[in-house]
Amino acid sequence: MIYLDYTANMPAAREALNAFVEAEARFPGNPNAHHAAGREAAAYLRDVTEGTAALLGVRPEEIIFTSGASESNSTAILGLAYAARHIGRHILTTPLEHASVSGCLTFLQEQGYEVDVLHTDRQGRLDLDELNELLRPDTVLLTLCAVDSELGIPQPVREARELLSAHPQCRLHVDATQAPGKMAFDYTLADTVSLSAHKFGGLNGSGLLIKKSGVAMEPLIHGGVSSTLYRSGTPAVALAASLRTALSITQERLDERLDTVRALNARLRKALAARPGITVYSPENAVPHILNLGVSGIRGSAMRDKLDRRGICVSVKSACSVENTPSRAVYALTGQRRAALEAFRVSLSHQTTEEEIARLIEAIDEIRTESTI
Ligand code: PMP
């Protein structure tokens, strides 16, 4: 099998698995419990939280461990919107957001919130002039991704933050799920930031939300005192430990791994450019791990299935989106429904080999020949 869907799930790093097993074995107590076993687990969780915060450049009390980015996005978006309901109900976002962000916004619209979706330029970056024009005294939230999962386009988060300084009532939430391991990112820029461990070599069902101290947010999960006010329940100590380990390795090896992935991406782009009828939608400024493309006359979902039958795993849109609908992200970038239907995503990692890229290109050629007969 050739796995080219690292954006959907990155295999767990051996070190992260070991950290999980070790923590699970060493700390049997519930960190919320008031006895020696509980205190030991709580102390270890504090250590893990401090280590994670240091890696991200934030304060330990700003870390909320969650079950993943979907929960982090819901916690932040709903929690910030509800906490600011007395100020206003206007929210701004981009068309490149993951379903866990756009789904929350639809849910809020049903409750009377007004949501405006900003346009992007030809490179897929949000239009900052439009953002400036649409900000109003009742705008309480701007939610955007650091880099999207379909096209891999980094967004101008710093510039957006600067514009927001004239609107102190408006909070900034950033879904940075796809940033670790793909690009450097300043985690102190936003009021809240989501991450998911399984995107950078941690385990599924584990993530975190950074919430700046002093930012008002209503919790989603209620019930009892825990390590944080914002997410009740027994903290998953071993998952947090494995997240810290995975993050540390990812950050440490970022540059070296980026070089590998850049070279693979260049090779793939060169081969695709030489083939008529193939369009690459990910712009040149996209992170090299994500390459969104389409083959003329073949639906993205059909390409995915044909590649799957040849033992190659790729995705259409993101794994959590609705099947057989055009890609909102590719439509936003191209304005073409046809492109949005033909698009599919190949995602690479430092584990990808040149042979795998060669086999992918060969398989795309086979499918194109078969489809034109
Ligand atoms: N945001 C983005 C940009 C993602 O790529 C994903 C995962 N596909 C999520 C959020 C949701 O993450 P999780 O699977 O941890 O809920």
Average confidence score pLDDT of the chain: 96
The residue nearest atom 12 of ligand 1, judged by CA position, is 69
Does 371 map to a domain? Answer: no
The residue nearest atom 7 of ligand 1, judged by CA position, is 8
User: What pLDDT digit, counting tens, does each position of 280-316 carry?
Assistant: 999 999 999 999 999 999 999 999 999 999 999 999 9
**Tokens, residue 11:** 């295999």
Indicate the pTM of the whole model: 0.96
Does 139 map to a domain? Answer: yes
Helix (H) or strand (E) holding 142: strand 139-145
| Cα dihedral 34, 38, 43, 47 sign | negative
**Tokens, residue 27:** 């700390």
Contact 312, 363 (CB under 8 A): yes
| Cα dihedral 90, 92, 93, 94 sign | positive
**Which residues, listed in sequence order, are joined to residue 278 by a DSSP beta bridge?**
295
**In the listed set 229, 252, 275, which residue is the last one of a domain according to the structure?**
252
Q: Please say if the pLDDT value at position 319 is more than 80.
A: no
The residue nearest atom 9 of ligand 1, judged by CA position, is 69
Report the first-to-last Cα separation within the chain, whole angstroms. Answer: 27
How far away, in angstroms, is 47 Cα from ligand 1 center? Answer: 26
Does 301 map to a domain? Answer: yes
How far away, in angstroms, is 332 Cα from ligand 1 center? Answer: 20
How far away, in angstroms, is 366 Cα from ligand 1 center? Answer: 32
How many beta carbons lie within 10 A of that of residue 138, not counting itself? 14
CATH number at residue 145: 3.40.640.10
Q: How confident is the model at residue 321 (pLDDT cuts 50, 70, 90)?
A: low
The residue nearest atom 16 of ligand 1, judged by CA position, is 70
Q: Are residues 235 and 289 in the same domain?
A: no
CATH number at residue 269: 3.90.1150.10
Q: Are residues 123 and 168 in the same domain?
A: yes
Does 336 map to a domain? Answer: yes
Distance of CA 276 to the CA centre of its chain: 32
Q: How confident is the model at residue 42 (pLDDT cuts 50, 70, 90)?
A: very high
Q: Are residues 180 and 325 in the same domain?
A: no
The residue nearest atom 8 of ligand 1, judged by CA position, is 8
Contact 307, 293 (CB under 8 A): no
Q: Are residues 112 and 126 in the same domain?
A: yes
Domain count, the chain: 2
**In the listed set 203, 225, 252, which residue is the last one of a domain according to the structure?**
252
Q: Could you give the strand order of the β-sheet that contains 290-295, starting from the edge strand earlier in sequence? A: 278-280, 290-295, 343-347
How far away, in angstroms, is 177 Cα from ligand 1 center? Answer: 6
DSSP 8-state code for residue 4: -
Contact 284, 299 (CB under 8 A): no
In this prediction, residue 320 carries a pLDDT of: 60
Helix (H) or strand (E) holding 346: strand 343-347
pLDDT, mean of residues 238-264: 98
Instruction: Tell whether ligand 1 has an atom less than 6 A from the beta carbon of residue 98.
Output: yes
Lowest mean pLDDT among 57-61, 223-227, 257-261: 223-227
Q: Are residues 67 and 213 in the same domain?
A: yes
How far away, in angstroms, is 39 Cα from ligand 1 center? Answer: 33
Q: What atom of ligand 1 comes closest to residue 207's alpha carbon?
A: 15
Q: What atom of ligand 1 comes closest to residue 97's alpha carbon?
A: 3
Among residues 198, 199, 195, 203, the alpha carbon closest in space to that of 236 is found at 203
Q: Please indicate whether residue 104 is annotated as part of the active site.
A: no
The residue nearest atom 10 of ligand 1, judged by CA position, is 69
Instruction: Tell whether ligand 1 has an atom less than 6 A from the beta carbon of residue 318.
Output: yes
| Cα dihedral 236, 239, 245, 249 sign | negative
Q: Are residues 312 and 289 in the same domain?
A: yes
**In the listed set 202, 235, 252, which residue is the last one of a domain according to the structure?**
252
Does 373 map to a domain? Answer: no
Full domain range(s) for residue 222: 14-252
In this prediction, residue 280 carries a pLDDT of: 98
Q: Please say if the pLDDT value at position 204 is more than 70.
A: yes
Does 372 map to a domain? Answer: no
Lowest mean pLDDT among 73-77, 155-159, 223-227, 324-328: 223-227
How many beta carbons lie within 10 A of that of residue 207, not counting itself? 25
Q: Are residues 226 and 319 in the same domain?
A: no
Does 149 map to a domain? Answer: yes
Instruction: Tell whether ligand 1 has an atom less than 6 A from the beta carbon of residue 77.
Output: no
Catalytic residue among 104, 145, 313, 320: 320
User: What SS3 class is residue 283?
Assistant: coil
Q: Are residues 224 and 295 in the same domain?
A: no
Q: Are residues 157 and 246 in the same domain?
A: yes
Instruction: Name every residue whose Cβ is closer than 8 Å to that of residue 208 and which is 6 or more positions away in sequence.
Output: 52, 63, 64, 65, 66, 72, 194, 195, 197, 243
Instruction: Tell whether ligand 1 has an atom less than 6 A from the beta carbon of residue 149.
Output: yes
Q: Are residues 159 and 100 in the same domain?
A: yes
Does 129 map to a domain? Answer: yes
Q: Are residues 23 and 55 in the same domain?
A: yes
Q: What atom of ligand 1 comes closest to residue 197's alpha carbon?
A: 15
How far away, in angstroms, is 36 Cα from ligand 1 center? Answer: 36
Instruction: Tell whether ligand 1 has an atom less than 6 A from the beta carbon of residue 202.
Output: no
Q: Are residues 206 and 267 in the same domain?
A: no
